[in-house]
Amino acid sequence: MKNKSTRLHRNAFTLVELLVVIAIIGVLVGLLLPAVQAAREAARRNQCKNNMRQLGIGILNYESTRGYLPPSALVDLSVTSTGNNGSWGVHGRILSYLEQDNLRDLVNIEAAWDDQQAISDVRIAVFQCPSDFNSNESRTFSDNRPTLWPTNYGFNFGTWFVFDPTTQEGGNGIFYPNSNLPLARVTDGTSNTLLCAEVKAWTPYTRNGGPATNDIPNTIAEAIAAVKSGADEKNTGHTEWPDGRVHHTGFTATMTPNTAVPYTMGGEEVDADYNSWQEGKNGSAGDPTYAMITSRSFHPGQVQVALLDGSVQSIADEIATEVWRAMATRDGGEIVPPL
């Protein structure tokens, strides 16, 4: 009986042994989880890169077919009240080149998008980065506009100036209203020029009532001043993928990637963007549009970009401002160093 009891005692775990095992498991889990998370982020980053590559191919095929790059919007300057709101942006104009022929057949690109229910609640995967959890929230409206999902890819509207409805002059990027730019106009070279970059869904921004000057903000203080000059506050940037305005469909290289521009909105400090006059607001009588729409990403320390030659690269947050802006111009003649 004594031997049996001893044998049973030796086969059991003591409390100390159990705690040691639990501690070891905890350490292993602690080591494993970051590796799993890193692997998942790498997969999401690769998916994001594939999305941007498809956008690049779509744009190049559009240009090859039509002989010019798509305009950011077609603005009827004879309309005197926000005549640009319903104009399709670049995302909608390249649907046929993104294997979205069925949807393209259901919409009329020549008519305002905001009255076409065929796009309501349609989520297009190639427009969304899987790392941006905010892109999982659709946008609904109180009027008859269709329900929309956000986009995480903004097209290149240049560095600051976007459009002057009086002169019909566009900015120095690849896209602006009423444009018909052939690739030959990109004299800086397609491998040196940004096509699109990541942006965050539901980005706060201000608009309307901004500066009537082409003086680009060069410091955080100047960027904050630009945001404060806007008369309207919104938290809906990049939530209307068909819309052609820069705060929904584009970005500008005013500030380097992931630059924080702090602004208090609704009692909360946010990173804010800015669009002075919404590209053609009030028709030909409107003021020029200047925009600071920063490229932002949930990929740590970087944003991913597509160049006009169709290639995709990662750009570190620390990129020099002059290099970032040089990549956004189509014919500035700058020397872009190897990245």
Mean pLDDT by 10 residues, the chain (339 residues): 48 73 78 69 92 97 97 85 75 96 95 94 97 95 93 98 93 96 96 97 91 85 94 96 96 98 95 92 80 97 96 97 97 84
- The answer as to whether 68 is a domain residue is yes
Estimate the share of the chain in helix, then strand, then coil, as percent rounded to the nearest 5: 35, 15, 50
Neighbour order of strands in the sheet with 302-307: 250-251, 153-156, 194-198, 302-307, 312-316
Helix (H, G, I), strand (E, B), or coil: what is residue 123?
A: coil
The structure's pTM equals 0.88
pLDDT for the residue numbered 307: 97
pLDDT for the residue numbered 70: 97
- The answer as to whether 188 is a domain residue is yes
- The answer as to whether 13 is a domain residue is no
Number of domains in the chain: 1
- The answer as to whether 134 is a domain residue is yes
- The answer as to whether 254 is a domain residue is yes
pLDDT for the residue numbered 85: 65
Cα→Cα distances 258→130, 157, 252, 268, Å: 18, 17, 12, 19
- The answer as to whether 129 is a domain residue is yes
**Any bridge partners for residue 164, and if so which?**
169
Write phi, then psi, for 265 (nearest 5 degrees): -130, 120
- The answer as to whether 319 is a domain residue is yes
pLDDT for the residue numbered 299: 96
Which domain covers residue 156, as residue numbers?
41-328
- The answer as to whether 8 is a domain residue is no
